[in-house]
Amino acid sequence: MKINALSMLACSAIFAVSCTTAKNYKINSKSGTNTQGTADFVQKGKNVKMDLNVYKLTPGIHAVHIHEKGDCSATDGSSAGGHWNPAKNDHGKWGSEHFHMGDIGNLVADKEGTARIVFNTDKWCIGCSDESKNIVGKSIIIHAGEDDFHTQPTGNAGGRVGCVEIK
């Protein structure tokens, strides 16, 4: 779905009842894994909801972050760059004193390797002009390990096993 100037104007109109933008993406496996799934984003008004459904993960805890580049071309996901961090904050847990805009948290894969995380925020937007909030042109990375919320700048989350380009 493309966002054009007319729809942006309609969404930002003072008397608009609500504006909804929805995007759906397939997860690309990385680092020799079979990681699969979908990432759905819906913006309604000023709130963005991300619904990430992941399959064929190693059972256990996996970090999820938004990364600075919407590029999943490298086999190890490194083309996505580092965590999205427009405010240049320290890495941490979302909502704590210090965190990156891309610090989503952890998801837990069950014994079948299935995991889901639903995340809501008014700190992101889909295609808006505010680059400190706009997630278009970024990527979602699913990591091999758990985010410890302390190690700088990555949370010691390990390799990249899944990638989604947010277009």
- Report pLDDT digits (tens) over 59-95: 999 999 999 999 999 999 999 999 999 999 999 988 8
Q: Name the amino acid, one letter, at 132.
A: S
> Could you tell me the residue ranges of all domains in the chain?
5-165
CATH code 2.60.40.200 for 5-165: yes
How far apart are alpha carbons 42 and 21 in whole angstroms? 6
The pTM is what? Answer: 0.86
Q: So which residues are the catalytic ones? A: 65, 67, 83, 91, 100, 103, 143, 160
Reply yes or no on whether the pLDDT at 97 is more than 90: no
Distances, alpha carbon 132 to alpha carbons 15, 87, 124, in Å: 25, 7, 8
- Any residues with CB less than 8 A from the CB of 116 and at least 6 apart, and which? 51, 52, 53, 54, 107
3-state secondary structure 73-137: CCCCCHHHCCECCCCCCCCCCCCCCCCCCCEEEEEEECCCCCEEEEEEECCCECCCCCCCCECCC
